[in-house]
């Protein structure tokens, strides 16, 4: 199987869907003439032209509203945000229009649209450009939320998101666009709402998503050196969340550690912990532990950036605590 970069996987997904369906188009800041802020849309303007690959002003509320209106009228827009931090300006359109129009119209008007871009920290970008938004979006009924960790999942799930009849928030990471991964030449789709077991294990379940999967897998490698077998699950889809896979894993391992970059209050891991104590309580031999970002805004200092983010050492320590080997 060939290896391609994360950005190339996303670009292939969009191009394939645009060739398949003339109603699909891409819009956002710098997506056309500049080939995308992170070169995800490289070459797409040349192939599809300026009516289907559209550069927008720096006005997220405005161009998101245009995309939502287009989706309500039968088109399938892909709205790219340079970062989800900038999408805050467009939350009115995403949350009050896209997510609610199917319900408000009594099922008469749908909104098949994909909102995509980078989420989370990306180095020394400080407080206003380092926020993680999966839990924000997942808290809104009517939105589907996908957060990917590798090129294979990125392509397969983005194609499914574009074909989906509901609005989908597609979360990427700016620091992963150059990551290499195996992606098939032939077309494939991945189902929305299905988690993936990236590493089988028997002693503890580690749950994560997006770039924190690297931390989870690194921790699993370190734990294996000490004879601890960790099962690592990539959520991939945040809403709808695949509780079945999580419960089945806990039945096997009897312990769970959740790892995410977001702030701890109201985080995805908090929801998972609640659901697991409800559906898998009898199988748990220890309380579920959460490793999250610090409960403060991200600073510019590289020392404080490192202190804010979860790391493999913290995960290893948490696993040992739930296994009572510390």
Selecting among 12, 60, 80, 174, the annotated active-site residue is 60
- Span 196-322: which CATH code? 3.40.50.920
CA 275 to chain centre: 20
pTM of the entire predicted model? 0.96
Q: Burial letters for 130-147: b for 16+ Cβ neighbours within 10 Å, e otherwise?
A: bbbbbbbbbebebbbbbb
* Residue 289 in tokens: 């532990």
Tell me which of 3.40.50.970, 3.40.50.720, 3.40.47.10, 1.10.260.40 is the CATH number of domain 3-182: 3.40.50.970
Is residue 18 scored above 80 in pLDDT? yes
Determine the pLDDT at residue 37. 94
Is residue 298 scored above 90 in pLDDT? no
Selecting among 129, 172, 261, 271, the annotated active-site residue is 129
Determine the pLDDT at residue 123. 81
Determine the pLDDT at residue 75. 98
Give the tens place of pLDDT for each residue, 204-230.
999 999 999 999 999 999 999 999 999
186 is catalytic: no
* Residue 149 in tokens: 């960790």
Task: Of 128-137, 173-182, 244-253, give the lowest mean pLDDT range.
Answer: 128-137
Return d(Cα 25, Cα 180) in angstroms, integer: 26
pLDDT grade, residue 326 (50/70/90)?
low
Rounded to 10 deg, the angle between the 243-253 and 268-279 helix axes is: 60
The residues spanned by each domain of the chain are 3-182, 196-322
187 is catalytic: no
Matching fold, domains 3-182 and 196-322: yes
């Amino acid at each position: 199987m060939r290896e391609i970069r994360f950005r190339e996987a996303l670009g292939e997904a969009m191009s394939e869907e645009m060739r398949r369906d003339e109603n699909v188009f891409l819009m956002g800041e710098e997506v056309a003439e500049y080939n995308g802020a992170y070169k995800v849309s490289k070459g797409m303007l040349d192939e599809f032209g300026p009516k289907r690959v559209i550069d927008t002003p720096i006005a997220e509320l405005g161009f998101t509203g245009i995309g939502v209106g287009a989706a309500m009228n039968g088109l399938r827009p892909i709205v790219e945000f340079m970062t989800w931090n900038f999408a805050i300006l467009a939350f009115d359109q995403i949350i009050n229009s896209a997510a609610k129009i199917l319900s408000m119209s009594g099922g008469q008007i749908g909104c098949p649209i994909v909102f995509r871009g980078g989420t989370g920290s990306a180095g020394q970008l400080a407080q206003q450009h380092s926020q993680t938004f999966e839990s924000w979006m997942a808290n809104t009924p009517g939105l589907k939320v996908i957060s990917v960790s590798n090129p294979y999942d990125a392509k397969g799930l983005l194609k499914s998101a574009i074909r989906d009849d509901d609005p989908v928030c597609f979360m990427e990471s700016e620091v992963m666009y150059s990551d290499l991964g195996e992606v098939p030449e032939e077309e494939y789709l991945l189902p929305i709402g299905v988690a993936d077991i990236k590493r089988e294990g028997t002693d503890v379940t580690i749950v994560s998503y997006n770039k924190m999967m690297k931390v989870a897998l690194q921790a699993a490698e370190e734990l294996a050196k000490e004879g601890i077998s960790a099962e690592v699950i990539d959520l991939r889809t945040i809403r709808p969340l695949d509780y079945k896979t999580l419960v089945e894993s806990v039945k096997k391992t009897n312990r769970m550690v959740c790892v995410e970059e977001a702030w701890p209050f109201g985080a995805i891991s908090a929801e998972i912990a609640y659901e697991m104590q409800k559906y898998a309580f009898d199988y748990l031999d220890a309380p579920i532990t959460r490793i999250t970002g610090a409960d403060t805004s991200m600073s510019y200092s590289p020392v404080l950036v490192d202190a804010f983010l979860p790391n493999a050492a913290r995960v290893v320590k948490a696993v040992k605590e739930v296994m009572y080997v510390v």
